Amino acid sequence: MNNIDLSKITKPVESLIGIFKFLFFTLWGWIIVIFILFIVIIANSKNEKGYFSFLKFSSSLFEKGFFFFSNLFQFFAGLIIVWILISIQPLLKDIQEMVSLYKDIRNLEMALKNLKSERKLLEIIPVSFEDNEMVFKIKYFAYSPLKGEDIETGERECKIYGRKAYFDFIVLNFDYALIESGKSINIAIPYLVFSDTIPFENGVNILYEMEGIPLSLKLDEGDLFLLNEVDYKSVIKKIMLAVKDKSFARKTGIRTYYSEAIGISPVLKKKYTIYSTGTGGILLK
């Protein structure tokens, strides 16, 4: 439902209702109504020669009176209906937001069933050391619930100055109520690399998103169950937005989130594998 400025509708309607209440629920209002009605009837009580006619007056009195009061009821009923519809608009909006939030939570529950927390996240291979610059080849992995294994989702190269690199991850801890086992569950997402030379604030981004989806959470239609790819991507995008907004994070079922880093003193061509432990952050093997 699109956001509508209801004040543009409610103010004129409230003004009309106020005028109606004054005219028909106060003595002075009735005096004004009767006076106006009398003027209209008199104006229509002249004969062909322009003189006042009692017969015309009687006919006009009945005709105008009937027309006035019959339409008055319809007008008043219409105002009441419009006022009621406008009054319940905020309630309808709240109900829609609750339904939307319920759907988001249900989709999140199903998305978590697709996101195995104990899994491989990255394979890191140092490929070059020149002029105090470290170059890493990074392979990203996501867990396919249908295939029952970790699948490679992409490969990137990362360069940073220094002698020791720190691979930092965002760790999301979800509400117990969202997890069937009732146990804590953490989802770790690669975030950035800093070093003994380059501080965290100036670290190199390794989040690497495709269509707003981190490579470490990228799953195609053929790797998902319970959710289609569109709904899955929608959930992941909201999770990523939640990382930047604590109040929104709470609404989406994220209990806490924090940063955790693993340090590597790299050996050329050696493969380093980082895993998510599910309940305790990340682990280097």
Distance CA 277, CA 168 (A): 15
Instruction: State the Cα–Cα distance between residues 275 and 269, nearest whole angstrom.
Output: 19
Q: What distance in Å separates the CA atoms of residue 98 and residue 106, rounded to the nearest whole number?
A: 12
Please state, in angstroms and rounded to a whole number, the distance separating the CA atoms of residues 271 and 25.
Answer: 86
Say how far apart CA 75 and CA 33 lie, in whole Å.
15
pLDDT of amino acid 4: 47
Tokens describing residue 115: 């996101």
User: Of 187, 244, 246, which is closest to residue 217 (Cα–Cα)?
Assistant: 187
Task: Kindly give, in sequence order, each residue whose CB lies less than 8 Å from that of residue 165, ignoring residues fewer than 6 positions away.
Answer: 134, 136, 193, 194, 195, 263, 264, 266
Contact (Cβ atoms closer than 8 angstroms) between residue 128 and residue 121: no
Strands of the sheet with 133-144, listed across from one edge: 149-161, 133-144, 118-130, 272-277, 282-284
> pLDDT per position in the chain (285 positions), as tens?
444 454 555 566 667 667 767 766 778 877 887 787 777 767 666 656 666 556 666 666 667 666 666 666 776 776 677 667 666 666 666 666 666 655 665 666 666 666 777 889 999 999 999 999 999 999 999 988 888 889 999 999 999 999 999 999 988 877 644 444 445 567 888 999 999 999 999 999 998 887 788 888 888 888 887 778 888 888 888 888 777 776 666 666 677 788 899 999 999 999 999 998 866 678 898
Residue 188 confidence (pLDDT): 87
Residues near 255 by beta carbon (within 8 Å), at least 6 away in sequence: 173, 174, 175, 176
Position 257 scores a pLDDT of: 80
